[in-house]
Chain A
Amino acid sequence: MEVQLHLIDYIIMVIYFVFVLGIGWFLRKYMKDAKQFLEAGRSLPAWVTGLAFISTNLGALEVMGMTGSGAKYGMLTTHFYWIGAIPAMVFLALFMMRFYYGSKARSVPEFLKLRFDEKTRALNAILFAVMTIMASGISMYALALLMEKVLGWNFNVSLWLSAVIVLAYTYLGGLSSAIYNEVLQFFIILIGLLPIVILALMEVGGWSGLKEGLAPIAAQKGFAPDTLTTTWKYTGAANANPMGVKWYGIFAGLGFVLSFGYWCTNFLIVQRAMAAESTIAARKTPLIGAIPKMFIPFLIIVPGIIALVLINNPGSGFSIMENGKPNYDLTIIMLLKHYLPAGVLGVGITALLASFMSGMAGNVSAFNTVWTYDIYQSYIRPATNDAAADAKHYLRVGRLATIFGVLVSIAAAYLAGLFGNIMDFLQTIFSMINAPLFAVIFLGMFWKRTTAHGAFTGLLGGFLVALAHHGLTAPEGATTLVKGGWLGLIHTYPVEMAQNFWTAIYACASATLLTVSISLVTPQRKTDDELKGLVYSMTPKISEANIPWLKRTNTLALLVLIIFIILSVLFW
Chain B
Amino acid sequence: MLDIKIPIGLMFSVFGVIITIYGFMTRNDAELYQKSFSHNVNLWMGGLMLIFGAVMLLLVRRGKSKT
Contacts and interface: CB of A to CB of B under 8 A. Distances in A.
Instruction: Provide the main secondary structure of the chain A interface.
Output: helix
Contact of B36 (A12, A41, A339, A347): A339
Interface string A334-366: 000011111110010000000000000000000
A16 B32 contact: no
Interface string A162-196: 00000000000000100010011001000100110
A12 B1 contact: no
A26 B7 CA distance: 11
B57 interface: no
A187 B8 CA distance: 8
Contacts of B39: 199
Contacts of A199: 36-37, 39, 41
Contact of B2 (A19, A26, A338, A342): A26
Contacts of A194: 45, 48
Given A27-B2, A195-B41, A202-B37, A343 B22 contact: yes
Interface residues of A, number: 33
A276 to B, nearest CB: 14
A176 B4 CA distance: 10
A12 B42 contact: no
Interface in B4-59: 4, 7-8, 10-12, 14-15, 18-19, 22-23, 26, 32-33, 35-37, 39, 41-42, 44-46, 48-49, 52
B1 A43 contact: yes
Contacts of B49: 191, 347
B7 A19 contact: yes
B7 A22 contact: yes
Nearest to B10: A19
Interface string A19-58: 1001100110010000000000101000010000000000
Contacts of B7: 19, 22-23, 180, 184
Contacts of B19: 8, 12, 343-344, 347
Instruction: Provide the main secondary structure of the chain B interface.
Output: helix
B35 A15 contact: no
Interface of A: 8, 11-12, 15-16, 19, 22-23, 26-27, 30, 41, 43, 48, 176, 180, 183-184, 187, 191, 194-195, 199, 202-203, 338-344, 347
13 contacts: A8-B19, A12-B15, A12-B18, A15-B11, A30-B1, A48-B4, A180-B7, A187-B8, A199-B39, A199-B41, A343-B22, A343-B42, A344-B41
List the 5 shortest-distance A-B pairs measured between CB atoms, nearest first.
A343-B42, A19-B11, A341-B32, A343-B22, A180-B4
Given A22-B7, A27-B2, A199-B39, 13 more contacts: A8-B22, A12-B18, A12-B19, A30-B1, A41-B1, A183-B8, A184-B7, A191-B49, A195-B44, A342-B32, A343-B42, A344-B41, A344-B42
